[in-house]
Chains A and B, each alone.
Chain A
Amino acid sequence: MTRVRFASGLLACVVLTASVNAQAPAYFADVVPLLTKLGCNGGGCHGKAGGQNHFALSLLGFEPDLDFESIVQEARGRRLFSADPKNSLFLLKATGAVAHGGGKRLASDTQDYQTILRWIEAGARPASPADPVLQRITVTPDRKVFDAATRLHPLRVTAHFSTGATRDVTRQAVYQSNEPEIAETDDNGIVLVKNRSGLFAVMVRYADQIAVFHGVVPHAQKSAPLPSAWEKATGIDQHLVANWKRLGIAPSAPASDEEFIRRASLDICGTLPTPEEVKAYVADARPDKRAKLIDRLLDRPEYASNFALRWGDILRNRGKGYSTRFQRPGTAMFTNWIRDAFADNMPYDRFVSEILTASGSQETNPPAVWYRTVRTGPEYVESVAQAFLGVRIQCAQCHHHPAEAWSQADYFQLAAVFARVGRKGGFADAEVPTGEIIFLADEGEVVHPRTKQTMRPRAPGSAEFKLGKYDDPRRALAQWMTTKDNPYFARTMANRMWGHFLGRGIVHPIDDARSTNPPSNPELLDALAKGFADSGYDIKQLVRTICNSSAYGLSSIPEDANQDDVQSFARYYPRRLPAEVLLDALGQVLEAPTKFRSVAGDFPKGTRAIELPDEAVPSNFLDVFGRPARNSACECERVDAPALGQTLEMVSSVELQEKLTTDKGYVARLAKNGQPHAHNVRDVFQRVFARAPRTRELNLAVEFLESQTDRKEAYGSLLWALLATNEFLFNH
């Protein structure tokens, strides 16, 4: 995998003396990597902000100049004792000869000890500009498929220098597995595979360089036989097949028609299919009925509402605060603009560019509302990086990213893109000012907190933007971002959408792409991203590509051949319905739409939860089931984890109780319709689960209903029980 390097100028000059072993150890090449290896400059020790016990080092040695000052010069040089190097405090602490909060990190009879000792003996020199520069490290092998006989495998790490010299630094490198449940590594680079199958990566760090080893632990020694249809897979399916073969797993059987229409309706439109829709779809004998269904769903307004809801989270369209009534026109306008963008299938590059470069009044230009919640340098950087580039760059605000190439310069140069975002007007007597005018200010700069240099605008990984005095750096950012060869933009959206439909991103988490967190199926992600970019960033086409894939049509029931799979999409991964979708589903099943309170009066009758303008519309149900507060651009803020409150909500919710007992609802209709229980139970199951009841279920339900004297109460109880099942609560 191509590794893109974004190291700052300072870190790029990490050097190694080629003849280091023969001569005195070099500070950058020998000493700093040791400090990392020994954990001295880790986040839990001297590497944390402020250091430890008055001794501060940069995190993982990314600021070696500063570290040199701390070790050699700080406190009048008390840490090194050149007259008797062995009695240097630096060594005495590390060996535990004197009390050390971090314990004994180094034995005096080791080569590492000798390296540091010799460096002190030689005068504890800083790096020389003449020293060779460490250019990269490589790990050998860089990928491997393990088998039952091979549970251990050594890695060899080689450092490459500007002089052309190489050196084995396996023992000095640091290793970290991204899937410790599948494989671990020891300090010497030995990979230990555990009993679980799957894909894993090992991040290898030496000095400021990172390399990645990719491992595959197959499910079985022999590939499980694939159904013949899969052998002829085309499009993105072929990439899935290749991965399954590599992992030795086989996909689950295709989902039934009932399962598929329910799944697609919920994923695309956030809406349950009606019994009539299910019946018509099942009866449809056309071979392309799935594609037609997907097209129909994409044409429905619920599709736009469903994705506007998700993007309202990502774009932090917040209405909370005591001044919700002042915020509401803005949040409503922004939500509607997002909804229109999805409904009209606005190209994604246009969608993002409109937001990034939004100017003018937040009362008349909806994308400018993004700047209402996103207001500060860190918020600009982190929202842009996470939402549109799929990377988490927060760490680089304070220090070099520990697992990626992002430096503080990357962070603050991206912040500089927004330094000239001006604000004026608006109503400030609110928690968050609203109705501001966003404009390109004449001036504005961002200063690197350490170097105090004024940062010139650029995107992470790009060259500095060439800007005239009157140019808006945001336009340059948007232009860079939306070029076809941008390494992040299309991939991030493709991954995000894959994650939405398949329950897990190819890069997981979906907004944490980095070389040390590789995609589980790089070829699949590349194909999706390329297809997305080639289509002109056509979002509906991307949805079609994903939803028409065979993976999306798999059953959620695991089989022996994919029992452990949580990465390769060999089955559909079930997940709980999002809060808004669930509430709407309850309303739909029970024919009792939820009433939502507006800032004055109610929202129009029939307003659905997925259509709400912001997260500030009061609803305990939505909050309990994980509606996010929109405090960050991370989709992870939307929680789908189970909680006791959710159970209680299903048991004792006023909301649900009202829907079950209303005289105008489905329960009341069942109670009054005079139909036999069996007839009604079939209708209930179609409505709740999009399937007919099994014989046992039918008998059990009828038996229960017949045992009750109050028909309405009985149907209410039956529905209540069914709605509390995982089969209803989950998309599967």
Chain B
Amino acid sequence: MRCVRLLAVVLCATLGSMPIRADSPNPVLNAVFPPGGKAGASVTVSVEGLNLEGLRDLYVAMPKLVVTKLDAKRFRLDIPPETPPGVYDLRTIGLHGMSSPRAFVVSQRTEVLEAEPNDSADAPQAVDLDVVASGRIEKPGDVDGYAFSAKKGQRVVLECWAERIDSKLRAVLDVHDSSGKRLAVQRQAQGVDPLVDFLAPVDGVYVAKLFDLSFLGSPSHFYRLDIDTKPRVEFAFPCVVTRGQTTRVKLFGRNLGQEFVEVDVTPRPGSLPMPMRSCQMVGDFFAYHLPGSNLPILFGVTDVPVVVKDAAAVQELAIGSEVCGQLAAGDEIHEFSVTARKGEVLWLEAFGERIGSPVDLEVAVLDATRNEIMKLADDVDNLGGYRFPTNHSDPSGRFVAPADGRYTILVRNVIGGLRRDPRRLYRLSVRREEPDFDLAVISRRTDQPAGFNVPVGGRELLEVVAIRRRGMSGPIKVTAETLPAGMHCPDVWIGPGQDRAVLVLSASDSCPPFAGSLHLVGHADGRVRPVRGGAMVWPQQTTPSGRLTQEIPLATGPPANASLTATPAHSVVYQESILEVAIDIETAGPLGAMQLSALGQPRLVGKPLVVLASVKKGWICFAFPATLPPGPYTFALQAEIAPLNKTLVSNPITVEIRPARIALEIDPRTPTKIARGKIIQLRFSAERRHGFLGKIHTELTAPGGVAGLLSRGVTFVGQTETGALQVIATEDAPLGRQPFLRLEAVGTVEDQPLFRASRFVELEITE
């Protein structure tokens, strides 16, 4: 299907003397060191990365944080004492705008810095207990050692934070006694980060050593090592609570003084200062911090009653409930039953990977005879691609009861293995078809992590991805709230059935410098959902690495001196018709070869690139197929000017797609060539649809007018549905294929042109 065409007509070839400025370099923050500090204390951090010239400030969503610049890449942070412990995002602000984020941990423990040399067996760095040591495996083969004293029977938890705080380090952690004998080792406990739960066998000095699994090293191999005897919470049961209710939960962890601690928790909106992977953009969470423990944990929040898996062999569930269970044994199977009437629709959704649980869930539905009649599928659709992978192994699906009766829902873990693991929690929601959605906004860059920087006088394009749940298929409107002065962000629509749209932010020429956050919300079906921020962690990894950010950062960037304006011919477009969009590049300087493309166009519309040479005005055409569901859609244009290393982004184009009222077809026997001075008949049919009875006027047209071809339009009235245009090629008609020529039909009601349909015409002019 030829869906997108572009006609470029050189209308303005005047070349000015002021060149277009290249795109501002993308500031990338690779490392902040130390990657954390203590609440109520000052910490001097250094930053490393790409394009971090002219740094003037750091940005952390932390109230009352005081940042003082010390030199080009060092800052002092005065962390307010009331700052809740957690993992925050830190970004730099400099000449090129705000950088991509790196995790910065606020603790309530004493912080120490690695002091090299500490890499030989006999020269570890002495530290006290209950500290957090920040360090780096700076070069290949580096080993960092920390010596601590412990009493016999003292339980010391050593936990390394590396991968979870954006480090490249794949840490190995081991503990030795004073004779050098290794007493414990861990390579993966919390994801790939190691944790050693160490019981000191005798009073003595012990040495913890950290190194990379493959003996790699660099400044980006940073870590935080907790050497801790105080309470640490790892997970809660249940791990999901009902919104607006207070729930008694058990907290499990280490050094709690008992197996678990019971507390009452009440979900409250607020920040989520803990690492969250990109696939966790679904659902609501809230953070809870047990006083005295190291860091908060996250609870899921649901709108329906939460039940806890009990000891029953088969537990009855009400439709409209969510169950929380624990598959501690590898081959454990939990069964639930629901009663449904024939034709009743249920949506089943399991949460395992998305709540950080080390499980791969499988959910099946059995009928009364225990025949498996449905198996829920993993969500393998990766909306964010390499930069923000949203796919996961949690199954979900729509179940239509084939008959009245009781159905068994079976939940198991297919990666259980032989060992027990109490952390294997899951959630299973059983709900009716109540559409819902979740949104995240990410950078359009796929090669590097990036911040969201809007050039003064220019535009920045972001991508909003939507995960639709429980049958949600309608359009979603995304709106910016409380924009800073001088910035604009028109509403955009994620069209029906679509999973993404572009969001275009612009800053006026007079926009004052800004660095803060952007608040976006999505509206659909009467629901309002916040939009979360997402970011790539590291480029060029074997597997995609992306995570959620604490908030959506926004800053102004260096000024732009060129703009791309897109003007659609119509805001209402019918299926099976072609939309002509005029483009206009405003700049005083010359242009080089340019690639023009559409961004965020609906999934069913193709996406070819068009290469132009030094033009500033033209058109691009989009053909909308009959299969594209009616509704609003937003997309934008992008012009990449390679010689100038410049990318221009247009204003967003929002169109309303409506059902076709005219089905226009060109007779396939129509000649595809015409000689100068000759005449051909262009035969076609125009069938009225959906109750349209009015006149149809047809004519040959092209962006900027048809060149070298003459034809008189034909109007159908009454029941006429076929006709022909007589096309004459003038003696001086330009040779070759007339590009982007189209036959357009306009349906009128009471002489008002309302409905349109169009088809491209393939016609080559010959001698």
Contact = CB atoms under 8 A, between A and B. Distances in A.
User: Are A and B a genuine interacting pair, yes or no?
Assistant: yes
Contacts of A364: 188, 191-192, 358
Given A366-B187, A439-B415, A359 B330 contact: yes
Nearest to B366: A469
Q: Which 4 A-B pairs have the closest CB atoms?
A: A601-B140, A427-B542, A360-B415, A359-B415
A350 B418 CA distance: 9
Contacts of A336: 172, 185, 187, 213
Contacts of A470: 331, 333, 410, 412
B542 A326 contact: yes
Contacts of A469: 372
Contacts, number: 110
A358 B330 CA distance: 11
A598 B543 contact: no
Interface majority SS (helix, strand, loop, mixed), chain B? loop
Interface centre among A328, A343, A354, A601 (most CB of B within 10 A): A601
A288 interface: no
B269 to A, nearest CB: 33
Interface stretch (A194-202, A430-438, A450-458, A703-711): A430-438
Contact of B141 (A360, A439, A602): A602
25 contacts: A329-B213, A329-B214, A332-B213, A332-B214, A336-B185, A336-B187, A337-B187, A353-B418, A354-B418, A360-B358, A360-B417, A365-B415, A437-B360, A439-B360, A469-B372, A470-B333, A471-B331, A600-B216, A601-B140, A601-B216, A601-B217, A603-B141, A604-B141, A604-B143, A604-B211
Contacts of A440: 414-415
Given A363-B188, A442-B375, A600-B140, A357 B417 contact: yes
B215 interface: yes
Contacts of B415: 359-361, 365, 437-440
Interface of A: 301, 325-326, 328-329, 332-333, 336-337, 340, 343, 350, 353-354, 357-361, 363-366, 422, 424-427, 429-430, 434-435, 437-442, 469-472, 475, 478, 598-605, 613
B362 interface: yes
A603 B212 CA distance: 10
Nearest to B170: A329
Contacts of A361: 415
B140 A598 contact: yes
Contacts of B417: 354, 357-360, 365
Contacts of B213: 329, 332-333, 336
Interface in B95-151: 139-143
B748 interface: no
B202 to A, nearest CB: 17
A598 B333 contact: no
A657 to B, nearest CB: 24
A363 B331 contact: no
B416 interface: yes
B182 interface: yes
A442 B374 CA distance: 12
Given A350-B418, A598-B140, 17 more contacts: A326-B542, A332-B214, A340-B185, A354-B417, A360-B360, A424-B378, A425-B543, A426-B543, A437-B415, A438-B415, A440-B414, A470-B410, A598-B141, A601-B216, A602-B215, A603-B141, A603-B215
A601 B358 contact: no
Contacts of B211: 604
Nearest to A356: B418
Contact of A604 (B187, B188, B215, B358): B215
Nearest to B191: A364
Given A357-B418, A602-B140, A435 B543 contact: yes
A440 B142 CA distance: 39
Interface residues of B, number: 38
B139 A427 contact: no
B393 interface: yes
A565 B408 CA distance: 68
A599 B214 contact: yes
Nearest to A472: B331
A434 B192 CA distance: 15
A360 B352 CA distance: 13
A167 B182 CA distance: 67
A422 B415 CA distance: 10
Contacts of A441: 414
Nearest to B372: A469
Nearest to A343: B182
A439 B414 CA distance: 5
Contacts of A439: 360, 414-415
B188 A599 contact: no
Contacts of A434: 542
B181 to A, nearest CB: 8
A438 B542 CA distance: 17
A475 B416 CA distance: 11
A422 B139 CA distance: 38
Interface string B201-222: 0000000000101111100000
B214 to A, nearest CB: 5
Contacts of B172: 336
A440 B415 CA distance: 7
Contacts of A359: 330, 414-417
A602 B143 CA distance: 13
Interface string B541-553: 0110000000000
B635 to A, nearest CB: 31
B155 to A, nearest CB: 19
A426 B412 CA distance: 22
A666 B358 CA distance: 51
B542 A442 contact: no
Contacts of A429: 542
A600 B141 CA distance: 9
Nearest to A602: B141
Contacts of B185: 336, 340
Interface string B370-398: 00100100100000000000000100000
Nearest to A332: B213
A6 to B, nearest CB: 28
A422 B216 contact: no
Given A329-B170, A364-B192, A599 B216 contact: yes
A429 B415 CA distance: 24
A333 B170 CA distance: 10
Contacts of A604: 141-143, 211, 215
Interface string B230-253: 000000000000000000000000
